[in-house]
């Protein structure tokens, strides 16, 4: 994971340059519902969202963007599609980043106007490609299919369109809902450029499958050192996207700002209810901001050894639990009250 992408500043958040991978999400309330959007953005911020994006297709979107800027402390990204005027108005309204593909604008003059406005305001632009947006000429070169190579080439073409106007303050996103294609495309792009990548699996799906696909796709890239910001796209409450993003970063060893719970799958040796206990432990530690690992294991025979990578753990015995630290058995405790014992130990660590 030694690869480091170029630094880009998005409002008060810096991505790339070795900074933590920033978690983002997108608002999904109706544009007219300003209060609802603000409430959703605040819930996202509360859950750990570090950058929030909102679509700006018209004047109502600009109005919403201004309200969000007044109400939030995290950066707000304006998502523009075809109208360069919306990009200019978003910059004027305080957008911290613009998402726009210059290839969607109708003239080089419009691209120049957007690039100049963003440069003056110090606002980066996210460009990119997804399987539905590859330009016809690029597709033709790649057999008519949005292959990984076509996606990477298409994203680079968007970067080049801004470079023509000396604009380099860019973030690139390459997305596909087919995980192997998305991963390969991001790797191809990373092999050519250190531009920071916004990574994610698009249209990943509902809560469970969307999380699995995102974990595989985003996780594979993060372990390669690719990706400076991420979005888990779920057909679910966007707060779930933040929870999933945090879990993916934790699983990749990129965030140690809370307690990680490991637990055994149980087997015939197990004499305690590990399934219920592991859930309870996860719940109990959710507010402890310490880089610790807790193991919840089903039996003393193997549990202590199998859980020795954990800082602390409990292994089930006959009507009791054995507390251990770093694989060393310490003391037996009755089942009742084991959560409180564990909590006390964690607080003292
Ligand atoms: S820790 Fe014990 S109960 Fe859990 S899987 Fe291993 S052997 Fe089975």
Contact yes or no for 306/316 (Cβ under 8 A): no
With H, G, I as helix, E, B as strand and everything else as coil, classify residue 325: strand
The count of domains in the chain is 2
pLDDT for 137 equals 87
Burial of 186 (0-12, 13-18, 19+ CB in 10 A): buried
38 and 134 fall within a common domain: yes
Distance CA 41, CA 94 (A): 16
What are the mean pLDDT values of the chain's consecutive 10-residue runs (349 residues total)?
A: 90 97 97 97 97 97 98 97 96 98 93 98 96 87 93 96 97 95 98 97 92 97 98 95 96 92 93 92 94 94 85 92 92 93 95
Of the residues 301, 308, 317, which should be mutated to test ligand 1's pocket, given the most ligand atoms within 8 Å of the CB?
A: 301
pLDDT for 303 equals 82
Rounded to the nearest whole angstrom, what is the distance from the C-alpha of residue 271 to the centroid of ligand 1? 10
Ligand 1 contact, 313 CB (< 6 A): no
Domain boundary among 200, 219, 251: 251
195 and 278 fall within a common domain: no
pTM: 0.92
219 and 303 fall within a common domain: no
Q: Is residue 244 part of a domain?
A: yes
CATH of the domain at 71: 3.20.20.20
207 and 314 fall within a common domain: no
Q: Is residue 3 part of a domain?
A: no
Rounded to the nearest whole angstrom, what is the distance from the C-alpha of residue 152 to the centroid of ligand 1? 46
Distance CA 145, CA 154 (A): 12
Of the residues 268, 271, 278, 303, which should be mutated to test ligand 1's pocket, given the most ligand atoms within 8 Å of the CB?
A: 303
56 and 131 fall within a common domain: yes
pLDDT for 1 equals 54
316 and 211 fall within a common domain: no
Which residue range forms the structural domain that includes residue 189? 8-251
pLDDT for 319 equals 85
Report the chain's terminal Cα–Cα distance, integer Å. Answer: 29
CATH of the domain at 323: 3.30.413.10
pLDDT for 308 equals 84
């Amino acid at each position: 994971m030694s690869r480091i992408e170029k630094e880009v500043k998005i409002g008060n958040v810096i991505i790339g340059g070795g900074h933590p991978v920033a978690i983002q999400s997108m608002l999904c309330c109706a544009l007219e519902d300003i209060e609802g959007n603000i409430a959703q953005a605040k819930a996202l911020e509360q859950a750990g969202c570090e950058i929030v994006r909102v679509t700006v297709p018209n004047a109502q979107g600009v109005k919403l963007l201004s309200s969000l800027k007044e109400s939030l402390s995290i950066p707000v990204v304006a998502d523009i599609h075809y109208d360069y005027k919306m990009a200019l108005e978003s910059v004027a309204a305080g957008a911290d980043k613009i998402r726009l593909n210059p290839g969607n604008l109708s003239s080089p003059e419009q691209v120049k106007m957007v690039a100049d406005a963003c440069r003056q305001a110090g606002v980066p632009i996210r460009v990119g490609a997804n399987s539905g947006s590859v330009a016809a000429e690029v597709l033709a070169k790649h057999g008519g299919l949005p292959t990984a190579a076509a996606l990477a080439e298409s994203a680079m073409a968007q970067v080049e369109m801004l470079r023509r106007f000396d604009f380099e303050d860019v973030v690139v996103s390459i997305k596909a809902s087919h995980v192997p294609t998305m991963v390969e495309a991001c790797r191809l792009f990373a092999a050519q450029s250190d531009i920071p990548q916004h990574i994610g699996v698009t249209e990943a799906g509902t809560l469970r499958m969307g999380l699995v696909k995102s974990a595989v796709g985003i996780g594979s890239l993060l372990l390669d050192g690719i990706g400076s910001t991420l979005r888990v796209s779920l057909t679910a409450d966007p707060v779930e996207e933040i929870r999933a993003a945090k879990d993916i970063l934790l699983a990749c060893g990129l965030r140690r700002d809370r307690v990680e719970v490991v637990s055994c799958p149980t087997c015939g040796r197990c004499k305690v209810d590990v399934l219920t206990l592991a859930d309870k432990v996860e719940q109990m530690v959710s507010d402890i901001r310490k880089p610790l690992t807790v193991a919840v294991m089903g039996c003393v025979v193997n549990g202590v050894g199998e859980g020795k990578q954990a800082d602390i753990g409990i292994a089930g015995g006959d009507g009791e639990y054995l507390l251990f630290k770093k694989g060393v058995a310490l003391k037996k405790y009755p089942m009742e009250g084991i959560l409180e014992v564990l909590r006390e130990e964690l607080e003292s660590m």
